[in-house]
Structure 1
């Protein structure tokens, strides 16, 4: 019988694994020397103690407290069946460290199928868990790694419990400054509120988040990161932490911005090109319709520009285009949209201006060009003029293509006499 064997204690005392024996009340009746050594306890701290005794803390692989019903002995008592290779940790408060155990447990049943004793064996696998120094790998990785608790997602944000060296390198916050804080310490005026809400919604559902976000370092410098937030679950499927893996993509975003600017900007004048102008014009039209406001669209053409090219050459013609663009830009408001949509043809969106006020603004532009003597790189000076055709909008009655056609028709009338502004009617 098992009890007879236990009475001798000789065999179990010599085994190279830890052995504990518990009664059906989950009270420890026996612990061999290796079990005591592994647990870091003395015999008088163990024998007669309940498995739920608060002097030891059992944790799962995420260092979260192990629920009592998941203790190996408790599972065996309830299920009356053995469990194999169950991994857990015991926290030693004096040493402030965990001992990791791989455990097997099985019941000793009487002829009625009742549990009379529970035998738990375990080996110390702490060294095996640390065989690959993952913490060192993560801490020295080039990518940023931030780990937070999965709590207080809305009120202040989840608490940071780990950052690696790359985090401090990019953000300029030390590890001490980051721990106990929240990721919101990195957010600022340009951090998208929509993105923050998206992250919050995904985290509440325990879902992964992959996106890009705008952040700020300790000194207020802006940067972009590629963000991948992964929920970490314990062995029971509960999300206990979030791990954010981040990569600095600021240089890439700047490059993308420059490419976008190049694609949307007229290389000669620096104004919006045709594609960009139409996009901005459609957006402006949408806004004024929504606000029930007013808008004018004008098309501007340089008078006798072909003669300039024929007389002075295309290089001088380019100089003229640049000078005319500058004059128009100097006489438009910040809210207006100015673009070059053809060779010597420009277009202007005048926001929140009626037909009458639009005429006044366009006349200011026309007169400024008429009264300016343009000095060329050759030393010559030119006096030029422009013809302007424009139309306005009654909300919900037109679209940009229609307005451009109407402005072109008005421009055709203006070109009949040159150097004048004509409203489409």
Structure 2
């Protein structure tokens, strides 16, 4: 039967005041809990945005550093080669060389300059430092070359020197001079060989990275003087950067780092990452604007603040209404009610969050709750995730032990990258962060997920752009030289032999001149296709420039090396190339090869030997294989 209504009397006032106090206390607890959850979410999203900015700046800096170091090392390698080919006697007689001698030097230097897209010119300075020769012309050395000559003369142990930025002749472009010592037989300075490197090449590399708007790419020296910048600001080149003292203190003694400050030139807040170039006195300073990463965070923070204020106002209004209407609500089993209220608020907060969230029981790894965003991430309704073991979502379940280990040891896990399996069976890259909380009288994992598939794909695309020749699909020059250096060190460490092949398509210039560069591109692609079919997966194949290619072969002896080279030559000579329009072209290749049986010689010398053998094959009639052996008649004839 219905229960009679209870009449509230003055005797109930103390109990009512105690109940009201408890109610207000719970309102404060709930508000604090919601504020903590909102604050945790905002802190995590702020940290994620900062990490994204830091990671993107670091990736861009590393990619640009790799390409710049490759270009500078490539230039230095050419200068080393030229320094070994020019005799001190020629330098001492630079002002009186015969036309034939001058023409020979011009052809040598012009051929090397053609392999350096970053170089404006390559030239010589005489043994007295007064005369210079470049582009086949002898002129008085300008002040910059004389200053570099004086630096090398005053520092006998210094092999290479670089100038400050200079303006190129005949245009408004900027560049700097890289000079290398040429020593006489007694070790004294006999002259120098130099290359004028265009800073426009730096802008080209930075432009290819396709960074966000208002990003800055700065190349500075160790004195914090601006050497190059993208977007270009020619008026600031050669000047000390603003905030130079702060930047100097930041980079001093470090090889890389990240910080955030407002640029004094345009007032934008940016995250800056720097990387030192190994072996060169330059520092890369990459700045990405914060506005590209924190716009969504500010909107989310405003929305959370508004929701929290509305929640507080609503709670206060409800408490006021309860007090005005004299409705007494006394707490029964206060501890149990508190836990139930906390769990309910956790679930409501979970549903309100825009990021994918999973609540997982610690002792069984079963999913207790999932919000709508988590269901959208894996392509299932959120309700279908509840009751599933968390490892069933992984492509590789063994990741779970590592995640749990971090949660147990540190009570949290941050940015753990792994692959989830979506409902359609496709793998999905996810960044997982979370912490340990109390839920339903036990321990639970509060896990936040983020789809990082696009970032992973973008990183893969940037890596391919930086390492693969876009026309032929093999390693580009910079990546080939880097990998070749690694294989040389590996062979040296384990005592293995290392073979080097240099290949050059015969009469390729005539193909371009006769049929056009589009046919030339098809010939290069067909050539690469034939060669790759004859190589092992472990062999390193790369395009060094134009129609010249290189191959590094591991664990070959001389007979196997020359047999492989001959097999490549025969395959190309015997298999005509069929072009897109049905034309058939017969091509041949000249190959120079050498073998490092002992690893006392550096890789540059090994490549030079293979290049000399290639030169002998070219001059011996082409369509041939020559092994580097200075005592052989074929090599001497070349």
Q: d(CA) in 2 for partners of 1:221 and 1:414?
A: 52
**Distance in 2 between residues matched to 1:393 and 1:355, nearest whole Å:** 10
**Equivalent runs, 1:15-414 vs 2, <5 Å:** 15-18=15-18, 90=333, 98-100=336-338, 135-139=347-351, 141-150=353-362, 158-172=365-379, 178-179=385-386, 182-189=389-396, 197=402, 200-201=405-406, 203-217=408-422, 220-232=425-437, 240-289=443-492, 292-377=495-580, 380-394=583-597, 397=600, 399-414=602-617
Distance 1:288 1:317, change over 3 A: same
Q: For residues 330 and 89 of structure 1, what CA distance do their matches in structure 2 show? A: 80
CA distance in 1, matches of 2:401, 2:609: 44
**Distance change in 2, residues 1:221/1:341 (3 Å):** same
How far, CA to CA, are the matches of 2:547 and 2:421 in structure 1? Answer: 44
Greater C-alpha radius of gyration: 1
User: Deviation string for 1:167-186 (max 9, x for gaps)?
Assistant: 23333466566556554323
Q: Is the 8 A contact 2:407 2:436 kept in 1?
A: no
What is the CA distance between 1:415 and its match in structure 2?
Answer: 1.8
Is residue 623 of structure 2 the alignment partner of residue 419 of structure 1? yes
SS in structure 2 of the partner of residue 15 of structure 1: helix
Shift in CA distance, 339/181, structure 1 to aligned 2, threshold 3 Å: same
Residues 179 and 300 of structure 1: is their aligned pair in 2 closer, same or farther, counting only changes over 3 Å? same
Distance in 2, Cα, partners of 1:149 & 1:209? 19
**Could you tell me how far apart the structure 2 residues matched to 1:395 and 1:200 are?**
48
Matched-pair contact (CA < 8 Å) for 2:403–2:413: no
- Structure 2 CA distance for partners of 1:89 and 1:100, relative to 1, 3 Å: farther
For 2:417 and 2:465, the matched residues in 1 are separated by 23
Looking at secondary structure, tell me which structure has more helix per residue. 2
Q: Secondary structure at the match of 1:403?
A: helix
1:368 Cα deviation from its structure 2 partner? 0.8
Q: Which residue of 2 aligns with 1:69?
A: none
- Number of residue-to-residue matches in the alignment: 311
- CA gap 1:382/1:147 in 2 versus in 1, 3 angstroms: same
Q: Secondary structure at the match of 1:384?
A: coil
* Cα root mean square deviation, aligned: 4.0
Q: What CA distance in whole angstroms lies between the structure 1 residues aligned with 2:479 and 2:609?
A: 20
Larger fraction in strand: 1
Give the Cα–Cα distance (whole angstroms) in 2 for the partners of residues 207 and 129 of structure 1: 20
From the superposition, tell whether residues 143 and 17 of structure 1 become closer, same or farther in structure 2 (CA, over 3 Å).
same
Partner of 1:118: none
Task: Report SS of the residue matched to 1:247.
Answer: strand
Residues in 2 aligned to 1:129 and 1:202: alpha-carbon distance in whole angstroms: 20
Q: CA deviation at 1:246?
A: 1.1
Tell me if the contact between 2:413 and 2:432 (Cα under 8 Å) persists in the aligned partners: no
Q: CA deviation at 1:414?
A: 2.0
CA distance in 2, matches of 1:199, 1:281: 41
- Which blocks of at least 5 consecutive residues in structure 1 are unaligned? 1-8, 20-33, 36-60, 63-87, 93-97, 102-124, 153-157
Q: 1:285 to 1:380 in 2, by over 3 A?
A: same
Q: 1:12 to 1:89 in 2, by over 3 A?
A: closer
C-alpha contact (below 8 Å) 1:199/1:209 kept by paired residues: no
